Amino acid sequence: MELTKVDNWIGGCFVPPKSKEYLSLGCPHSGVIFGSVALSNGEDVEVAVLCAKKVQVSWMERTTKARAEVLFKMRELVGANQQRLVMCIANEHGKTPFEAEAEVLKSIEILGYACSAPQLISGKIQAVSKGVTCFERRDPVGIVASIVPFNFPMMVPFWTVPLALVTGNCVILKPSEKAPQTMKLVAEIFKKAGVPDGVFQIVNGSKNAVEAICDHPDITLVTFVGTSRVAEMVTHRCRLLNKHVLALGGAKNFLVAAQDCHVELTSSNVVSSFTGCTGQRCMAASALIIIGDQAQLLDLIVRKASMLRPKNKQDGVYDKDAIGPVIDGASKHKIISYIDQAEQNGSQILLDGREWYKASITSEYGEGGYWVGPTVILHASSDEPAIQEEIFGPVLSVVKVSTFEEAISIQKSSIYGNAACIYTSSGEVAEWFASRFEAGMIGINVGVPVPSEPFSFGGMKMSKFGELDITGEQAIDLFTVKKKISVRWSQ
């Protein structure tokens, strides 16, 4: 098998890193090395910034409509390459084709929203006194860097890149070193769409690249999505240089099942939430609080989750009964360690996914890979690490309580505040919880409450560092500087 090499995309072409160093890429399905990705440093970031500075003014001086025309072409070409992108995501990340297709379609949807920028960014104008008019204009912030995670190698970059470009900024993207191939393909598509060389660039790598991005004085804004620990470090490092920064961190999303919930709908939705994308999404359910004795609900969740099976090469695009591997060996061992610890602490393992990785998945993939099956744990205490900490895998931790107050107390005690959901048939109950949840995104009978544009994506507490959200209307404010202008012409 020919190994894939992922170089940096700088100045409209692929170039090797200055260090000449590469990191091996392992296939999540089998663990077999299939390629390598560039490990960049400050020299590579400097070259990318210099290229961006050469074209920043000319890109900014285009009208918003002219920039939007380029995005329309991007949207057309992404659609034309949809199947290539789907298979690239599925192969490098481990998602099922169904999940990968959903990611590509969501990216196209975000592009469509960015195409409407000429209508979205028009400013206010008003006569404020005799002979004096005030108006506002939006200018780009300059050079934007986006540091993105592995779990959505296309969609998360599209949270920032299209809106940053259409508002007149140049963008330097730092993909996850665990899943860099998808945006390599996207870079080629962007060039065909007419994005000028230097306006969109990719610098691959890990810690050295991130630190160089945070420290570069000519990068005006940094966006980050990843763990809370790194998000806090990135925020602090950027603010030392008075940079604009928005960093999204980890999550521990609590679902609450009231006694009047629709059992069939709730069980299906909970399973979809905690097993979708193998639990590797910041919006996945990872803790379920059941109010009262709801044996039927818990039995249905376990039964439906147990029907899922490892993805194989024969699965069709729309096969929803299969789930893929986790991203790498470190993730697999971390997930299993939480299950082991819960068992040692006396929790009941109602569904055990630890045996998946020992099985031969298919003859095509061979033995090995990073497989963990759906797991359901019933805890006696909400203080368990699996209840409080982010696992990022297909593990559902369940705890039973007697009252609404106990349920809301557990959710509010979390250091995270990304998302929360209440399952109920009562509008009064839904309103009670929605008004009390400490989370930026709330679902009512929706276990993955991702807001669609124009609504913005962002959490609270340790799930977000920064004042604005990363998509939708707030992202337009993030990527622009509002200038307020007062005019008097009359004597």
Residue 456's contacts (CB-CB under 8 Å, 6 or more residues apart) are: 468, 469, 470, 471, 472, 473, 474, 475
Distance CA(418)–CA(250), nearest Å, equals 8
CB neighbourhood size of 340 (10 A): 13
Helix (H) or strand (E) holding 465, with range, is strand 464-465
At how many degrees (to 10) do helices 42-61 and 207-215 cross? 50
Residue 470 tokens, joined? 């990363």
Distance CA(173)–CA(213), nearest Å, equals 10
Residue 197 tokens, joined? 């060389």
At how many degrees (to 10) do helices 64-80 and 82-93 cross? 70
Backbone angles phi, psi at 339, to 5 degrees: -65, -45
Distance CA(360)–CA(347), nearest Å, equals 28
Rg of the chain over Cα atoms, rounded to whole angstroms, equals 23
Backbone angles phi, psi at 92, to 5 degrees: -85, -25
Distance CA(325)–CA(332), nearest Å, equals 9
Distance CA(354)–CA(335), nearest Å, equals 9
DSSP string, 16-69: --TT--EEEEE-TTT--EEEEEE---HHHHHHHHHHHHHHHHHHHHS-HHHHHH
Asked if residues 235 and 89 have their Cβ atoms less than 8 Å apart, the reply is no
Query: Is 282 assigned a catalytic role?
Result: yes
What is the phi-psi region of residue 194: left when phi exceeds 0, alpha when psi lies from -120 to 50, beta otherwise? left
Distance CA(133)–CA(118), nearest Å, equals 22
Specify the 3-state DSSP secondary structure of 256: strand
Residue in 88, 115, 261, 282 annotated catalytic: 282
CA–chain centroid gap for 172, Å, is 17
Residue 69's contacts (CB-CB under 8 Å, 6 or more residues apart) are: none
Give the active site residues.
282
